[in-house]
Chains A and B, each alone.
Chain A
Amino acid sequence: MQEETFKTYSKQAEQVIAIKANDEKTLRVLYLENFPKTEKYVLENNGSSEEARDVFQEAFIAVWRNIQANKFRPENETALSGYLYRIAKNKWLDYLRSGHYKRTTSMTETPDVYESQEDCLSEDQEKYITKVKEQFRLLGDNCKELLTRFYYKQESLKKIADGFGWTEATARNNKYRCIQRLRAMMNHDK
């Protein structure tokens, strides 16, 4: 029995580690397996498939953030999927209640698990991050690729340097330059 518990735990722990490392295979499975349920919910509640995508991706990023910050530890096999679904559902309910949404609809459900969504970033910080994401898209392709490989894929400078045909020192300098460029864009576009 204890062994069984341990097994389940370690499976979940593995998944968390993989998500933290942005392991593509794990993220992909998590996305593809869970999207249909959210989509179904949104479609049944006056939403479109595009709205389902937006709300699901927002929820996905929220879950990912909490995992990165060690704030969510799934307790069993389905905990992560359930958590993702609940957040997506709550976000959709929120949206329906907000001013954006005018169509009449009878909403009997109330959002649950609010506490699990909080990720202790202030509104200002959220705004700043959103802007970083916007500005990041406007960077040159090479900076985007370099920064994504280093920060998101967590590849070593050595590996990145090999990929570009640079020395490690060049890769390091370029990383600094790309960050400087991004900062400049952030400051310029106030």
Chain B
Amino acid sequence: MNLEPNISQEEFERIERYLLNEMSAGEISTFETELNQQPALRELVEEHRLLLIGIKEAGLTEKLNEFHQEIFENNTGTQVSSEETGSKILKTYSSTRSTVRKFIVRSWLVAASLILLAGIGIWWFFNTQNNYSKIFADYYSPDPGLITAMGVSDNYEFERAMVNYKRGEYTEALKSWDKLLASNSSSDTLNYFIGSAHLAGKNAEKAIEYFEKVVADNSSAFRNDALWYLGLANLKMGRIKEAKSFIESSDHEDKQDLLSLLKD
């Protein structure tokens, strides 16, 4: 494809609005008339369409590799919640990488018995104790964290801790952020991520303390996420009434699912 190396931002955004279906019917028809008349524009649109597919697929591929690693690098086994069957099923994927291919059938038998064992375990769990921490585990995934910004930044300390956070080094992250919080006690960003780090570090009690500060700030961009995590943290602590009310106030995509589980 031989294309002009540059298009103006305006032109780019117009093409993008067309491809992302953001145009009104009137605009579409004007644009399509132009498309019919201008081969160069057609080529740009086609180029951009393929670029978008490529970018999306690059994103998808990265995810697929992450999923794959979960299966094969997690020796302790990983839990998958299945929504297709309606009920939550746990599967244990034991790592069988070192197994010689011949024995693959045997390892699947082992996996099958692990699933069975897990099943019995779950049955026991459900029948003997409350299942809230299980529900928590199904619905909780840590906040992915912020992108560490471009170039040199005066938020160096904050961002370095963000890198720790993303790596799962929650204690490290908390060390820096706690220090920063001392001079920025009202920062919703700090409070939110300190809460997130505590929750990811399995300290729901502490997490609640910080998320509550974020929730109190009506203008915070983190408020909605904080409500969701506050609900989950309370759920983990077994405080169902509080959990429900926070989850109810959030607009998280899994909200209805989770609430329906908490009904009975």
User: B3 to A163, Cβ gap below 8 A?
Assistant: no
User: A183 to B67, Cβ gap below 8 A?
Assistant: no
User: A129 to B104, Cβ gap below 8 A?
Assistant: no
Instruction: Say yes or no: is A128 at the interface (Cβ < 8 Å to chain B).
Output: yes
Contact flag A142-B5 (CB < 8 Å), given A27-B67, A129-B53, A182-B51: no
Distance A1 CA – B182 CA, assembled complex (angstroms): 62
How many residues on A have C-beta within 8 angstroms of the other chain's C-beta atoms?
Answer: 60
Instruction: Say yes or no: is B6 at the interface (Cβ < 8 Å to chain A).
Output: yes
Contact flag A179-B51 (CB < 8 Å), given A31-B67, A61-B60: yes
User: A31 to B64, Cβ gap below 8 A?
Assistant: yes
User: B68 to A152, Cβ gap below 8 A?
Assistant: no
Whole-angstrom distance between the Cβ of B143 and the nearest chain A Cβ: 11
Mark out the residues of chain B between 15 and 59 whose CB falls within 8 Å of any chain A CB in the assembled complex.
47, 50-59
User: B68 to A151, Cβ gap below 8 A?
Assistant: no
User: B60 to A29, Cβ gap below 8 A?
Assistant: no
Instruction: Say yes or no: is B61 at the interface (Cβ < 8 Å to chain A).
Output: yes
Residues from chain B with a CB closer than 8 A to the CB of A172 are: 13
Instruction: Say yes or no: is B108 at the interface (Cβ < 8 Å to chain A).
Output: yes
User: A176 to B53, Cβ gap below 8 A?
Assistant: no
User: A163 to B146, Cβ gap below 8 A?
Assistant: yes
Contact of B80 among A15, A29, A131, A136 (CB under 8 A): A29
Interface of B (DSSP majority class)? helix
Q: Which residue of B is nearest A162, CB measured?
A: B221
Distance A125 CA – B47 CA, assembled complex (angstroms): 9
Distance A147 CA – B55 CA, assembled complex (angstroms): 7
Q: Which residue of B is nearest A166, CB measured?
A: B149
Contact of B61 among A65, A133, A179 (CB under 8 A): A133
Distance A162 CA – B149 CA, assembled complex (angstroms): 11
Instruction: Say yes or no: is B82 at the interface (Cβ < 8 Å to chain A).
Output: yes
Contact flag A179-B146 (CB < 8 Å), given A35-B68, A128-B1: no
Contact of B5 among A28, A148, A187 (CB under 8 A): A187
User: A153 to B59, Cβ gap below 8 A?
Assistant: yes
Q: Map CB proximity to B onto A137-169 as digits: 1 under 8 Å, 0 otherwise.
A: 100001001111101110000010011110000
Contact flag A165-B12 (CB < 8 Å), given A33-B82, A129-B50: no
Distance A11 CA – B59 CA, assembled complex (angstroms): 26
Instruction: Say yes or no: is A32 at the interface (Cβ < 8 Å to chain B).
Output: yes
Residues from chain B with a CB closer than 8 A to the CB of A94 are: none
Q: Map CB proximity to A onto B56-84 as digits: 1 under 8 Å, 0 otherwise.
A: 11111111110110111000001011111
Distance A147 CA – B72 CA, assembled complex (angstroms): 28
Residues from chain B with a CB closer than 8 A to the CB of A35 are: 68, 71
User: B84 to A148, Cβ gap below 8 A?
Assistant: no
Instruction: Say yes or no: is A85 at the interface (Cβ < 8 Å to chain B).
Output: no
Residues from chain A with a CB closer than 8 A to the CB of B67 are: 27-28, 31-32
Contact of A15 among B54, B59, B84 (CB under 8 A): B84
Whole-angstrom distance between the Cβ of B116 and the nearest chain A Cβ: 16
Residues from chain B with a CB closer than 8 A to the CB of A60 are: 64
Further pairs besides A152-B55, A152-B60, A165-B146: 8, Cβ < 8 Å: A33-B80, A147-B55, A151-B52, A152-B58, A152-B59, A159-B221, A164-B147, A183-B51
16 pairs, A vs B, C-beta closer than 8 Å: A22-B59, A22-B63, A24-B63, A28-B70, A29-B82, A35-B71, A48-B101, A53-B68, A64-B60, A129-B54, A133-B57, A148-B59, A148-B62, A152-B59, A179-B12, A183-B3
| Nearest 8 CB-CB pairings of A with B | A132-B54, A152-B59, A31-B67, A136-B58, A148-B59, A176-B9, A32-B80, A129-B54
